[in-house]
Structure 1
Amino acid sequence: MPPGLRRRTPGLRREEVAQLSGVGVTWYTWLEQGRDINASPQVLDAVARTLRLDPAEREHLYDLAGVAFAPGPEGHADSVTPEIQRVIDDLRTLPAAVYNSGYDVLATNAMYRRLFPAVDAAPPAERNVLWALFTARPCCCCMVNRDTELPMLVATFRGAYGRHVGEPRWEGFIRRLCAASEWFAELWASGDVAPPGERVKVIQHASVGNLHCTSQSLTVAGSPESRIVVYVPADAESHTRLDALRTLDDPLVGCTTHARPVSLERATQSRS
């Protein structure tokens, strides 16, 4: 936040809390004063995140506002259960993965690792869809239609970010990716927001050629900000190429100019 006028006490001003929470100053003033206003759980959660309240403090805020408190599961998942891993492993003919709301790749099946070998070869801290797409060479980016697909991904990511404003994990990732990619920084500064939706992704693969796939998302029970994403061929040619990909033990990473086996890519990552 800009420093503004000299502060008599440390902390956020009322206007700053309202701004960071996405509510009006007058409404927030009435909330502080205990007036009879309609406070939704979504708005109370936004205020709680701005003030960095712990679970007990968040529940107390609900009580003060006269809203029923319903504790939910942790939103930003870091892993999957063995049962969810088995679900995607049993999808033997289709690439499938589990993403959290920040596009971290939490789990993959064998076909996903063949379709997106760069993600599998990356260090654990960099197994993130946005990081992989924006830090790759433009020619080696797995998305052929990157000019339309990547802006939509950033807009969808911003939609999820609204539930995590101020969280160090999210803010740190955004800062690192802005520093690593000028294009991401430009898209992020635009402020565009979009809901998740079904789109045809054109995926380039140096081993089998381009594939047209749609991504289908399935919510994971008990983890509302995680989802199983399955890539389904959109045409017969892509179906044939995906079948050919199943037989590859060491698929190629990158474009046709810079392609190299994933085993070599993984070895390079381990040395860096």
Structure 2
Amino acid sequence: MNQARDEQRRQALGEFIRSRRERTTPEMVGLPDGLRRRTPGLRREEVAMLSGIGVTWYTWLEQGRSINVSTQVLGAVARVLRMDDAERQHLFALAELTEPHPAAREPKVGRAVELMLHQVDPYPAVVVGPGWEILASNHSYLAMFGDYRSLPDEYQNSLLLFFANPRMRSIIGGWAETAPRLVAKMRVAMAADVGDPGWQRLVKLVEAHSPEFAEIWRRQEVASLDGVLKTLRHDEAGTIHAEVVHSYLGDQRKVRFSVYTPIDDADRQAMVRLATVTPEEIVLPRAKELALV
């Protein structure tokens, strides 16, 4: 009797996951839609890649086979398939697992922090979460680096945009020299939560967009997250020299508030000009490394 019940439960779990996969479009997860698809939604290979799991294992999950499913892996699948709270709860109930509490507690930016962001304009400022996801920013930041807000959630990430957005190479002076140090800082930030599927998914996604990142990542270099001097170039505002100052929000773990402060009056005047610029929407090229079949 228990065996029959378990089979029915696994079948229901697989059918539910498949239904969510078929409704999730490539655009929703930042993948190109250039391939002909026999069925709607994502392919199994795509879900497996974005979730950081094997294709065969994921196929067995949809087929309702008797396999061990962890909360971490199930959470990764739920995030890729854009499940809301009710769907996640149903998913974990079908798997007879307890949904991990941290998954429901994402960093938030309150009204006071939003006010601070706007108060420091025309200095570009941004709030970045534990996984380097961009939580909020002010107008000058958007004008400088581009409007990321219409991108899929996974792409609203400062590390990914550094490598995936071609415009960053012209905006950031010494991009090639900055890249290794940025990756080294990211590795240190990742160390405390190295088992988090979110980090693994981010690494795979950036690697898919940037062979340069993949090569740098293999070096295993580390560096501390400290203030740094940057040279920024904007077509309308001009060249800006800035010191990036980081502070951490006391009530939220590893959420940092970063402000680009001018070095001298000429840089401050350039930032004033920057504040009048209409931000350009970020358009990312296709990921050349996503050889999905």
- Aligned equivalent of 1:212, options 241, 253, 256: 241
Instruction: Show the 5 A alignment for 1:83-232.
Output: 83-120=112-149, 122-137=151-166, 140-232=169-261
Cα distance change of structure 1 residues 153 and 77 upon mapping to structure 2, 3 Å threshold? farther
Q: 1 CA distance for matches of 2:192 and 2:170? A: 29
Given that 1:156 and 1:196 are in contact with CA atoms closer than 8 Å, whether structure 2 keeps it comes out as yes
Contact 1:159–1:194 (8 Å) recurs in 2? yes
Structure 2: runs of 5 or more not aligned: 1-66, 69-97, 285-293
Residues 223 and 185 of structure 1: CA distance in aligned 2, closer, same or farther (over 3 Å): same
For residues 128-183 of structure 1, give each alpha carbon's deviation from its aligned partner in whole angstroms, at most 9, with x where no partner exists: 11111101227754212112222111111100110111211110111111121011
TM-score when normalising by structure 1? 0.62
Instruction: Rate the CA distance shift 1:113–1:106 in 2: closer, same or farther, 3 A.
Output: same
| Shift of residue 82, structure 1, vs aligned partner | 1.8
Identical-residue share of aligned pairs (%): 25
Shift of 1:236: 2.8
Cα distance in 2 for residues equivalent to 1:164 and 1:130: 17
| Structure 1: gaps spanning 5 or more residues | 1-9, 12-52, 57-72, 252-261
User: C-alpha separation between the residues in 2 aligned to 1:119 and 1:205?
Assistant: 17
Give the Å deviation of 1:125: 3.0
SS of the residue aligned with 2:192?
A: coil
Instruction: State the 1:77 CA deviation.
Output: 4.3
On the 8 A contact 2:228/2:245 being kept in 1, the answer is no
Q: Secondary structure at the match of 1:190?
A: coil
Pick closer, same or farther for the CA change 1:239–1:135 going to 2, 3 Å: same
Question: Per-residue deviation at 1:119?
Answer: 3.2
C-alpha distance in 2, partners of 1:194/1:77? 26
Alignment partners' CA distance in 2, 1:149 and 1:79? 29
The Cα offsets for residues 31-83 of structure 1, whole Å up to 9 and x where unpaired, read as xxxxxxxxxxxxxxxxxxxxxx9989xxxxxxxxxxxxxxxx99x84421222
Counterpart contact for 1:218–1:229, Cα < 8 Å = yes
Say if 1:113 and 1:120, in contact at 8 Å, map to a contact too.
Answer: no
Q: Secondary structure at the match of 1:158?
A: helix
Paired residue for 2:262?
Answer: 233
Summarize the Cα distance change of 1:183–1:118 in structure 2 as closer, same or farther, 3 Å threshold.
Answer: farther
Q: Between Structure 1 and Structure 2, how many residues are aligned?
A: 189
Asked if structure 1 preserves the Cα contact closer than 8 Å seen for 2:184 and 2:221, the reply is yes
Residue type at the aligned position of 2:131? G
Q: 1:94, CA displacement in angstroms? A: 1.4
1:112–1:165: structure 2 CA closer, same or farther, 3 Å change rule?
same
Q: Is the 8 A contact 2:132 2:159 kept in 1?
A: yes
Shift of 1:246: 1.8
AA aligned to 1:130 is L
Determine helix, strand or coil for the equivalent of 2:253.
strand
Q: Distance in 1 between matches of 2:191 and 2:158?
A: 19
Task: Give 2:271's aligned amino acid.
Answer: L
